[in-house]
Amino acid sequence: MPEHLDIVKIEITTPLPEEGYPDTTYKIEGSVKMFDAVGAPPFVYAQVQKKEWYKPEVVEEVTYERGFPIPVTGKFTIEWRPEKLGTYEVTVVATPAPLPLPVIGVPPITGESDMMKFSAVEKPAGEYSNLKITSYENVTV
Amino acid sequence: MVTKRVGLVAPPGVLTVSPGDVIRVTSEFDYTGPAVSGKIYSALYHPTFLDPHDEIARNSKDFSITDSPPPGKHFTGYVDLTVPEGFSGTDFGLYTKLIGIPGADIFSPYYDNIIEIVGAVPEFSNLVISSYVKR
């Protein structure tokens, strides 16, 4: 885990739901503010850690989804699309520089949000009701 | 292309058609759940000795619905059916089903005796001997 310097405040206004479905896009919205600093907002990423009960935390799969803060307001949106069933821990982190992907030599984390837990579950079958014929007409083409 | 509408009827009203006419069947349903696609299928049927819903015309149309969390979405669609040659009577009905969706097909009620087909059978008349000769 990279070094954590708490100089950026990340506020989440639209967190992930606690439960969702694979191959569906979810949005995390929030804002990022730098304490006692002026300048462009830092880079923000959703750090997604897929939890596997049989794996030690250090070898769990971690991916990053980038968000783009708007200058001045610092508001950002990050889109994330889970691909597998399972439990994820998602934290929005701020860095002073873009993360190379795959992540090698992660720059210091300058702030992070509260961690959000997300469970990707099987899509339920849809429910259909009130299927009926409402009208019929004779049309001639 | 011009579509001429001859009549609009709601169940249990009776629509009178002739062979070659096109019946536009409008159906609707409510849906709650994840995004889905499938086909809306409608058929014109009449009862026979072996099958109470023997289909004489059928057609389908693709539909797709985006994510529909509770309370869900309302969907309306139509399918056009061409009345085939060789049938006449008042005992024709319609039904709709949803096919190609996850799980089992979903059926509407069967609407019996709501379609009347006229002029379907050729009529022979005036059969007479017009002349006769010795050969």
CATH T-level fold of A8-120: Immunoglobulin-like (2.60.40)
Residues of A in contact with B30 (CB under 8 A): 128-130
Give the pLDDT score at A138. Answer: 92
Chain B residue numbers with beta carbons less than 8 Å from the beta carbon of A135 are 8-10, 26
pLDDT digits (tens, 9 = 90+) for B53-82: 999 999 999 999 988 888 889 999 999 999
User: What per-residue confidence (pLDDT) applies to B45?
Assistant: 96
**3.90.1150.10, 1.10.510.10, 2.60.40.10, 3.40.50.300: CATH of B18-117:** 2.60.40.10
Q: Which of B74, B78, B118 to mutate to test the interface with A (most CBs of A within 10 A)?
A: B78
Tell me which of B44 and A66 has the higher pLDDT.
B44
Q: What residue has token string 């509407």?
A: B108
Which of A130, A135, A140 has its CB closest to that of B22? Answer: A140
Question: Are A88 and A51 within 8 A, CB to CB?
Answer: yes
Flag whether residue B89 sits within 8 Å of chain A, measured between CB atoms: no
Q: In this predicted structure, what is the pLDDT of residue A104? A: 47
Kindly provide the ipTM of the predicted complex, given to two decimals: 0.84
Residues from chain A that touch B29, judged by Cβ atoms under 8 A, are 128-132
Residue type, A120: A
According to DSSP, the β-strands at B15-17 and B111-117 are: parallel
What is the per-residue pLDDT for B46? 95
With a cut of 70, say whether residue A99 has pLDDT above it. Answer: no
Interface test with B, best of A127, A128, A129, A130 (most B CBs within 10 A): A128
- List, in sequence order, every beta strand (DSSP E) within chain A: 8-14, 19-20, 26-34, 43-51, 62-67, 75-80, 86-95, 111-112, 116-120, 127-140
Domain positions in chain A: 8-120
Any bridge partners for residue A45, and if so which?
A66, A93
